[in-house]
Amino acid sequence: MIAAFALALALQSTPPRIDWPSLAPLPYRAEPQITPDMAAFVANEVTTRKCPLAVGPGLTLSVDVAVLVDAQDNIRTTVPRAIQCPTVEQYAAAMVAGAARGNLLPRMAHADQWYRATVTFTWPK
């Protein structure tokens, strides 16, 4: 019983293996816009959490997010690609989930399907 529980727990915490290049782009009706406040939040998280990423004037930071969409065009889950900054990864995944809700083009899918979205934060010079 304990071994079965441990196996179930391990399977739940193991992220799915994602073939990032093969994912089709998430079919947004309108691309979400990144505001200066969002970029400022990310820059602050990178700095305060001491993430090994470069942020600042003239730089960009992109986070890929895999999105599982069901046959009714609902977002089932989002999985950020690791960039060595978990708070920024989770923030990007939440942003994609929120931006996709009610904002996807109609699809002809009859089953769950994975897509890729890329969130890019930019800091002007």
pLDDT tens track for 37-57: 999 999 999 999 999 999 999
How high does pLDDT run on average in the chain?
89
pTM of the shown model: 0.84
**Closest alpha carbon to 63 in 37, 29, 38, 27:** 38
DSSP for residue 22: G
Residue 30's pLDDT is: 96
CB 51 within 8 A of CB 85: yes
State how far the Cα of 115 lies from the Cα of 26, in Å rounded to an integer: 5
Q: What is the pLDDT of residues 9-19, one digit of tens each?
A: 444 455 568 89
Residue 4's pLDDT is: 46
